Structure 1
Amino acid sequence: VGSRLRDFNPQDLALTVWVFAKAGVRAEALFNAMAEVAEGSRLRDFTPQALANIVWAFATVGVRAEALFNTVEEVVVSGRLHDFKPQDLANTTWAFATAGVSAEALFNA
């Protein structure tokens, strides 16, 4: 799976890590590869639910990906916050708190 991540669309990426986290599988190499693929401008293509699912998955399995979390925070506070449903926002803020990633801009938005 890891070698094909670059071919995945945003929903596929989010669902892949969500499934691993839901199953309690801490596939650190896969999560790290996914973080590399998703970081940067590509995260702007993710739906609010996909963004929430990604950070939820990382926090759930305990894989540290501060750069990914920081990029998600930038995407959310740069005009996407109004697109988030309450569940997406709750999952996102829970993930940041659980992962111990500082997100002052997100929590103050």
Structure 2
Amino acid sequence: MMNDKIIQDIFDVSQTFASGKRLLLLFILQSEPMGYTMITKWFERVGIPIGSSEVYKHINCLLENGFITKKGNSYVLTLRGLKAIEAAMDIMNTPPKIPELKLSFKTEK
């Protein structure tokens, strides 16, 4: 049975996965810590439109949920953030294979 904490944790984690830009931000920070300006320029360089308020919204969500932390002027991935990336990679690399279902009939004795 799920308790209130588990239910809240599911919602907290799903917030991160609910936005492609937010999840991408974790992948960006995996390679190196970055400040706000570098993050914004990275999105611009790859052609993903994002406003400054949207960048801050995503950063704050990741900070509040413990996926990143701030060190000086840079944002750094936490262990939780790294695990989120690993889980996302696992999902992305898993083929959508449909299980084989077999019907069986019970015989009455």
TM-score relative to the length of structure 1: 0.29
- The structure with the greater share of residues assigned to strand is 2
- The structure with the greater share of residues assigned to helix is 1
Structure index of larger Rg = 2
Q: Identify which of structures 1 and 2 has the higher relative contact order when contacts are C-alpha pairs closer than 8 Å and 6+ apart.
A: 1
